[in-house]
Amino acid sequence: MGAVTRPNEIYIERLNKSYSQQQTAGDLHYIIQDVDLVVKGGEFFVLLGPSGCGKSTLLSLIAGFVSKTSGHLRVGEKEVDRPGQDRAVVFQQADSSLFPWLTVRENVEFGLRMKRIPSARRKEISDRFIGMVGLKGHENKFPRELSGGMKQRVQLARVLSNDPGILLMDEPFGALDAMTRRTMQRELVKIWQETDKTVIFVTHDIQEALLLGERIGIMSAGPSSRITDIYEVPLAYPRDLAAPEFHELYNRIQAHFDE
């Protein structure tokens, strides 16, 4: 018997995606081609690659938003063919995912309300995650009254309150100013350490990848993009930007993109 698969483990083998039904194997019009990847349950994995290489496409495949052309894609024991409550996506722009007519608390509790969780329990859960993302005291504000960083925190609290085993994050801090971005990166690491979720985090920023990931998968430029290399990051959290090991890894990864 093989090892027991955790429900928040992701298994990808020879995964292909083409947006045209007419494409056949070997055709250069695949967006991603022959992607192999296993992400362990509870792991923080970063997908790093140049703009347009297919990072969001791979994330959307894992989310079940788009269907694969061929290959295997499993979450736990199940082949992915649609979105599921075991996976949640955090997008770059919180605006498109928050309801402007609901307060911070109502936005965070939205999924719980849909699941008909009683209000006392909803409040307990939303209090926990609003606190965790540092929004205590802002519960009754509407999205229009919040900064970009605060909206992104609401999005994260809402996703966490639904308790998915897997967080799929598509450049979630890309639109934030540098200082807010650093704070959010630190807090995300803390939240991940507290909740044992699997995180797949998409970025094209090497420094961000090195601050966050236990492993970093490098995607080649598209079309027919693949994960060409995987780096282990053997540095303790919180990561020290000034450490020589950090610079050394940064330079090795940068070299991929200079070729």
Ligand X SMILES: Nc1ncnc2c1ncn2[C@@H]1O[C@H](COP(=O)(O)OP(=O)(O)OP(=O)(O)O)[C@@H](O)[C@H]1O
41-70 footprint of ligand X as x/- string (CB under 6 A)? --------x-xxxxxxx-------------
Closest contact distance (angstroms) between CB of 58 and ligand X is: 7
Query: What residues numbered 118-177 form the site for ligand X, per CB under 6 A?
Result: none
Q: How far is CA 215 from CA 39, 45, 68, 94, 212, in A?
A: 9, 5, 24, 26, 9
Closest contact distance (angstroms) between CB of 165 and ligand X is: 23
Q: What is the DSSP string of 36-95?
A: EEEE-TT-EEEEE--TTSSHHHHHHHHHTSS--SEEEEEETTEEP-S--TTEEEE-S-GG
Is 90 a binding residue for ligand X by CB under 6 A? The answer is: no
Q: How far is CA 40 from CA 7, 183, 193, in A?
A: 10, 26, 15
Q: Which residue, 204 or 226, has its beta carbon nearer to ligand X?
A: 204
DSSP structural state of residue 225? B
Please answer whether residues 126 and 47 qualify as being in contact, where contact means their C-beta atoms are separated by less than 8 angstroms: no
Please answer whether residues 99 and 110 qualify as being in contact, where contact means their C-beta atoms are separated by less than 8 angstroms: yes
Q: Which residue, 108 or 253, has its beta carbon nearer to ligand X?
A: 253
Closest contact distance (angstroms) between CB of 66 and ligand X is: 7
Question: In what helix (H) or strand (E) does residue 166 lie, and over which residues does it extend?
Answer: strand 166-170
Closest contact distance (angstroms) between CB of 93 and ligand X is: 12
Query: What residues numbered 200-259 form the site for ligand X, per CB under 6 A?
Result: 204, 222
Q: Which residue, 49 or 143, has its beta carbon nearer to ligand X?
A: 49
For CA atoms 37, 215, 257, 175, give the dihedral sign: positive
Q: Which residue, 93 or 103, has its beta carbon nearer to ligand X?
A: 93
Closest contact distance (angstroms) between CB of 204 and ligand X is: 5
Please answer whether residues 8 and 88 qualify as being in contact, where contact means their C-beta atoms are separated by less than 8 angstroms: no
Q: Which residue, 31 or 112, has its beta carbon nearer to ligand X?
A: 31
Closest contact distance (angstroms) between CB of 97 and ligand X is: 17
Residues at the site binding ligand X, with contacts judged by CB under 6 A: 19, 31, 49, 51-57, 204, 222
